[in-house]
Structure 1
Amino acid sequence: MTISATFSTPTRRKTALIVGAGIGGLSLGIRLQSLGFDTTILERLDGPGGRAYQKRTEDGYVFDMGPTVITVPHFIEELFALERDHAALTTPDYPPHTLSGERVREGDSGGPRTREYVNLVPILPFYRIVFDDATFFDYDGDPASTREQIARLAPEDLEGYERFHRDAQAIFERGFLELGYTHFGDLPTMLRVVPDLLKLDAVRTLFSFTSRYFSSDKLRQVFSFETLLIGGNPLSVPAIYAMIHFVEKTWGVHYAMGGTGALVQGFVRKFRELGGAVRYGAGVEEILVENGRGGPVRAPVGPRVARGVRLENGEELRADIVVSNGDWANTYLKRVPAAARLVNSDLRVKAAPQSMGLLVIYFGFRDDGRPLELRHHNILLGPRYEALLREIFGQKVLGKDFSQYLHVPTLTDPALAPAGHHAAYTLVPVPHNGSGIDWSVEGPKLTERVLDYLEERGFIPDLRARLTHFEYVTPDYFAQTLDSYLGNAFGPEPVLAQSAFFRPHNRSEDVRGLYLVGAGAQPGAGTPSVMMSAKMTARLIAEDFGIHPDLLGTAADD
């Protein structure tokens, strides 16, 4: 059932400040405008996107700096369909038509409202996964095609795939369709679902779970690597993440023509059409917290209330609520006074394991007429899998080899590069800055090794001679430019002890009127998850402000 609320003309509209114009912040901004708030998004960079920032170079290249894999297009359609002061508070999270099993395989894959803002197209295969011996697996989510690929690589595992498919589907149906939008704000909510998770065997590690079904090392990698794209180590994330396989299988993998940055710009346009404001170059230095009587917080006692923010230029802005779309750890460590924090204390925040870092190389090269034996998304696996993951996440050292995700969007969208050229980036998981690695020394060395690998293995023949643009970022970029604690790339590491109730809460436990959204909050990292996070946080805000069909106008009136 869908319940809509249209808000009455306000005597004073409630106001909101969102710190960060990432996909989570923009998605929530759109939702808050639909709930009757006047929302301003504050972004310290010179443009929107956050981790999804898009860079345009003087020599004609366009690079998405971060996310490139788009799934669950109806989440996007839902955002573009929202209207000012007209919130559908209980719209189905998964409308029946989106679960029909019919997936768009060619043409335009966006919904009717999405097409007004951005052009989404399906990507097939989803990924080409290339092993160290040059064999590969083209994964497109089609069961028949998947079985053919398995029969070619490891026919002995065909029966295991049938069992994996059945059990991963059960995890998807319970963990994503039924529980995906659950905000685990208290322990009883968590405890109620534990028996189901145990029954589904969803709490063991993903790699261990996958190994039950496949004897082939290659197939164990194929069906576990995807958590690396959201910052999770397959050796330690819970098997609940097997649902990613079914998320992609159900709705496909998509691309926004013009890059993910085009989707971000579509969100900015929609937000502004609904009356929202965005300020760039507006870094937030402090979230202003007062005690219940309006005075400053000096001791960790009594009610603590968010009243606004202080910008880096000293300007103070007041609002009824403040939402952080920034890094969870640095939100509390840097921007919320220590005296206002009991749950999210320095000790707790600093002890939380963070996701890995990344080295990302952005490069352009001439198309010399030879076809590339690559696809839009490519996973290039090194000779070691488990040992390499232990070095990155556990020992926090640079290994003798590496694996990488190579993105070549100009195979789909030539407009991202000058005529006769390709734009690409390759992403290498590395330890975060808790490792103590000096990236000014090790960054150049690793980039050289990666370029050598791409050229010598024949992925891009004569790459160095064809290079026309080259730059890279390390965990230092995430730490300094994106203000990410320890240079992590995806927020808190999604281990079992930092999932569901144990992941940072979208409603602050310490400060009334302070909320979180995005990769660091529930449910986690990844473009669909941060859009889900926005809807979850919007529902909490609606609950806190009494926005219900029988209380029209409550959010906007005094």
Structure 2
Amino acid sequence: MNRPAHRNAVPTRPKRAVIVGAGFGGLSLGIRLQSLGFDTLIVERLDGPGGRGYQKRTPDGYVFDMGPTVITAPHLIEELFALERGEPNLDSPDFPPEVLNAPRVTSGESGGPRTRDYVKLVPITPFYRIRFHDGSVFDYDGDPESTRRQIEALAPEDLPGYEAFHRDAQAIFQRGFLELGYTHFGDVPTMLAAVPDLLRLDAVRTLFSFTSKYFRSDKMRQVFSFETLLIGGNPLSVPAIYAMIHFVEKTWGVHYAMGGTGALVRALERKFTELGGQVRYGAGVEEILVTDEWGQAVHRPLGPRVARGVRLEGGEVVPADLVVSNGDWANTYLKRVPRAARLVNSDLRVKAARQSMSLLVIYFGFRDDGTPLDLKHHNILLGPSYEALLTEIFGKKVLGNDFSQYLHVPTLTDPSLAPPGHHAAYTLIPVPHNGSGLNWAQVGPELVERVLDSLEEPGILPGLRGRLTHLEYVTPDYFQDTLDSHLGNAFGPEPVLAQSAYLRPHNRSEDVRNLYLVGAGVQPGAGTPSVMMSAKMTARLIAEDYGGTAADSFPAEVDSTTYK
């Protein structure tokens, strides 16, 4: 794998790093910076950790993960918990033999030995129950034999196509994930070096077109393409390299953190603070402070520009040797980096980027009436249309008469998330982002009622309204206003080919020295495993830039007598 040379030496005087945002990316990078020897402060505008992965506890005893719920590649989590101060291990293999050769855990506890010191991970089987509009189901569990049996029952004509798809998706996984997954495409030659292989693997055509080569049944085309919706990608437009998601799940399984994803977030926060890191909540950032190399204000986007720290919303200045944004990529530049300091990431370029879809998410609790639920932990409820619905959401940016859902019922695995005799659940509906101009105060309640109607259908949750004990929901306005996401996008820039690899926002700012980015908005992309990989990418860039060098002194205008 091509990897930039770097040094892992612990700085002689700990350098000060400020990370904006305590999401998965910010916490993961904070752990890595502490292992590199930095003194790291994370500032977060919310009242707790997680960002998009924030966990909410209600007065009536329910616990809801507000965002991601699918955990894959548990070795990425184990790697973080194994880090120690002064032992960054950035040169160790990204996918060592013990990770590649270990059998997938299908029962019991699935986390590694250090993970178990912090959080309990368990495997989920099947990964997803996919329910089609006609009531038929497909339980996807990553087992080729089980998959073959179900294809034979639903679309026997597609069995030969599955064998070919399995072979070719595995090749994409090998090249696109195992070999290129941690590559930071910071320059054109790095990207061009990968192009011939991706063309040979047919990984640049759209994912839906790729799956359609192998499957004639609409159902099978949906089964093997829907997963990109969980990272904000339209199967009709994302490149086929995302077929590797199928093999990421098949290789390492799908897992759940007992106590919810929030338990994993709190475990990462605990590891970060054990390594000496600090977190401040209720500390929103108003501005990333940028000067020229002599400490003077920047008046035009030419010449040296250097990040010196941040100014919080209350006016407090926090100086730093480097700043990392785990916030929304677009709003980091549009709202927090002075316009005069931006040449590459100008307003024009940032606003022209295609943002991912948004979400309406309904969080609800209901009484268990003793009737066994014909559901699994993760459920995909597909509507009567697929391609037309995706075109409405991503292209036309309208709400049609149809919708599909991801229904999450974690209390089937972990009853602790609800009061005794009750279930906690959420259902997630892909919708257009706020570039649509939709008035969510008006259309939100209407869509919620339509969704509840659909959940009461036979085989899902009959009589749900009579059993509801808790109901709340969020719309794209939550992503825009509470999570400060540009246009209320839920996953950052849309992962189309024109916004992939070198063309996706970079983890090292092209405009401002000492400014870095991490998380869903930059390379490699959205999804919890990608965000944790993003943290390792960014840590390597920082180690390359800072290893063993003397710290810059702070100019007086951004100095502070107290570093909190």
Gaps of 5+ in 1: none
Check if 1:182 corresponds to 2:183: yes
Check if 1:501 corresponds to 2:527: no
Aligned match of 2:559 = none
Quick check: 2:7–2:543 contact (8 Å CA) kept in 1? no
Quick check: 2:191–2:501 contact (8 Å CA) kept in 1? yes
CA deviation digits over 1:168-215, x for unaligned, max 9? Answer: 000000000000000000011001111110000000000000000000
Aligned match of 1:515 = 516
CA deviation digits over 1:370-405, x for unaligned, max 9? Answer: 001000000000000000000000000001010000
Aligned match of 1:452 = 453
Alignment of 1:130-209 (within 5 A): 130-209=131-210
CA deviation digits over 1:265-286, x for unaligned, max 9? Answer: 0000000000000000000000
Quick check: 1:7–1:556 contact (8 Å CA) kept in 2? no
Change (3 A) 1:557 1:76: farther
CA deviation digits over 1:95-132, x for unaligned, max 9? Answer: 11111151000000000000000000000000000000
Partner amino acid, structure 2, of 1:232: G
Distance 1:270 1:433 in 2: 36
Aligned match of 2:437 = 436
- Length-normalised TM-score, structure 2: 0.96
Change (3 A) 1:181 1:443: same
Change (3 A) 1:8 1:161: closer
Partner amino acid, structure 1, of 2:178: L
Aligned match of 2:224 = 223
Give 1:5 deviation, angstroms: 8.0
Partner amino acid, structure 2, of 1:422: H
Aligned match of 2:259 = 258
Aligned match of 1:344 = 345
Distance 2:128 2:244 in 1: 17
Distance 1:524 1:6 in 2: 25
Distance 2:523 2:285 in 1: 23
Partner amino acid, structure 2, of 1:64: D
Partner amino acid, structure 2, of 1:306: A
Give 3-state SS (helix, strand or coil) of 1:378's partner.
strand
Partner amino acid, structure 1, of 2:241: I
Give 1:313 deviation, angstroms: 0.3
Query: Runs of 4 or more off by more than 6 Å in structure 1?
Result: 3-6, 555-558
Aligned match of 1:56 = 57
Partner amino acid, structure 1, of 2:383: G
Give 3-state SS (helix, strand or coil) of 1:392's partner.
helix
Give 1:85 deviation, angstroms: 1.9
Give 3-state SS (helix, strand or coil) of 2:146's partner.
helix
Alignment of 1:247-396 (within 5 A): 247-396=248-397
Distance 2:30 2:356 in 1: 26
Give 1:458 deviation, angstroms: 3.8
Give 1:441 deviation, angstroms: 0.1
Partner amino acid, structure 2, of 1:347: L
Partner amino acid, structure 2, of 1:334: K
Aligned match of 1:422 = 423
Aligned match of 1:43 = 44
Partner amino acid, structure 1, of 2:230: L
Aligned match of 1:233 = 234
* RMSD of Structure 2 on Structure 1 (CA): 1.5
Quick check: 1:168–1:243 contact (8 Å CA) kept in 2? yes
Give 1:363 deviation, angstroms: 0.1
Partner amino acid, structure 2, of 1:477: Y
Partner amino acid, structure 1, of 2:373: L
Give 3-state SS (helix, strand or coil) of 1:465's partner.
helix
Aligned match of 2:562 = none
Give 3-state SS (helix, strand or coil) of 2:72's partner.
coil
Give 3-state SS (helix, strand or coil) of 1:88's partner.
coil
Quick check: 1:36–1:555 contact (8 Å CA) kept in 2? no
Mean Cα deviation higher: 456-465 or 304-313: 456-465
Give 3-state SS (helix, strand or coil) of 1:308's partner.
strand
Give 3-state SS (helix, strand or coil) of 1:194's partner.
helix
Give 3-state SS (helix, strand or coil) of 2:469's partner.
strand
Give 1:89 deviation, angstroms: 2.4
Give 1:39 deviation, angstroms: 0.1
Distance 2:550 2:527 in 1: 30
Quick check: 1:130–1:137 contact (8 Å CA) kept in 2? yes
Quick check: 1:4–1:88 contact (8 Å CA) kept in 2? no
Aligned match of 1:536 = 537
Quick check: 2:10–2:36 contact (8 Å CA) kept in 1? no
Quick check: 1:4–1:89 contact (8 Å CA) kept in 2? no
Change (3 A) 1:543 1:177: same
Partner amino acid, structure 2, of 1:84: R
Distance 2:136 2:376 in 1: 14
Distance 1:507 1:557 in 2: 18
Quick check: 2:288–2:336 contact (8 Å CA) kept in 1? yes
Question: Identity of aligned pairs, percent?
Answer: 79
Check if 1:409 corresponds to 2:404: no
Change (3 A) 1:106 1:485: same
Distance 2:39 2:86 in 1: 10
Aligned match of 1:112 = 113
Give 1:86 deviation, angstroms: 1.9
Give 3-state SS (helix, strand or coil) of 1:201's partner.
coil
Give 3-state SS (helix, strand or coil) of 1:40's partner.
strand
Quick check: 1:68–1:259 contact (8 Å CA) kept in 2? yes
Partner amino acid, structure 2, of 1:191: L
Give 1:465 deviation, angstroms: 0.4
Distance 1:408 1:534 in 2: 29
Partner amino acid, structure 2, of 1:63: F
Distance 1:194 1:271 in 2: 38
CA deviation digits over 1:463-501, x for unaligned, max 9? Answer: 000000000000000000000000000000000000000
Quick check: 1:187–1:501 contact (8 Å CA) kept in 2? yes
Distance 2:41 2:301 in 1: 29
Distance 1:241 1:4 in 2: 29
Distance 2:10 2:20 in 1: 28
